[in-house]
Copies of this chain bind each other. A is one copy, B any other.
Amino acid sequence: MSENKSAQPKVTLHWLNQSRAQRIVWLLEELNLDYDIECHIRNSAMLAPEGSQSLHPLGKFPIVVVGDRVLAESGFIIEYFVDKFGPQLKPSDEDSLLRYKYFLHYAEGSLMPPMLVGIVVENINKASVPFFIKPLINMITGGVETRFLKPNYKTHFDFLEAELSSRPYLAGEEFSGADIMISFQLAAAKRVCGLSKEEYPKLFEYMERCESREACKRAYKKTKEMEAAGTKL
List of B residues within 8 angstroms of A7 by Cβ: none
Chain B residues with CB below 8 A from A59, complex form? 155
Q: Decide: B57 and A110 in contact? CB cutoff 8 A.
A: no
Query: In chain A between 106 and 165, which residues have their CB closer than 8 angstroms to a CB of chain B?
Result: 106, 108-110, 112-113, 116-117, 120-121, 123-124, 127, 129-130, 133, 136-137, 140-141, 143-144, 155-156, 158-159, 162
Of the stretches A74-82, A199-207, A214-222, the one at the interface is: A74-82
Say yes or no: A75 contacts B105, CB within 8 Å.
Answer: yes
Contacts of A121 in B (CB 8 A): 120
| Among candidates B80, B98, B109, B159, residue contacting A80 with C-beta atoms closer than 8 Å | B98
- SS of A interface (majority): helix
Within the assembled complex, what's the spacing in Å between the Cα atoms of A161 and B80? Answer: 25
**Contact bitstring A46-86, B, C-beta under 8 A = 1, else 0:** 00000001000111100000000101111110011000000
- Return the contact of A58 from the options B73, B79, B98, B155 (Cβ within 8 A): B155
Residue total for A at the interface (Cβ-Cβ under 8 A): 46
Say yes or no: A58-B120 contact (C-beta < 8 A), given A102-B76, A105-B75, A136-B129: no
Chain B residues with CB below 8 A from A72, complex form? 102, 110
Q: Bound state CA distance, A182 and B113, in angstroms?
A: 17
Tell yes or no: A40 within 8 A of B by CB.
no
Alpha-carbon distance between A117 and B117 when the two chains are bound, in angstroms: 6
Could you tell me the distance between the alpha carbons of A121 and B158 in the complex, rounded to whole angstroms? 28
**Cβ contacts under 8 Å, A110 to chain B:** 58, 60, 72-73
Across the interface, which residues of B come within 8 angstroms of A42, CB to CB?
none
Asked whether A79 lies within 8 Å of B108 as measured between CB atoms, the reply is no
**Complex interface: chain B residues within 8 A of A71 (CB):** 102
Contacts of A133 in B (CB 8 A): 133, 136
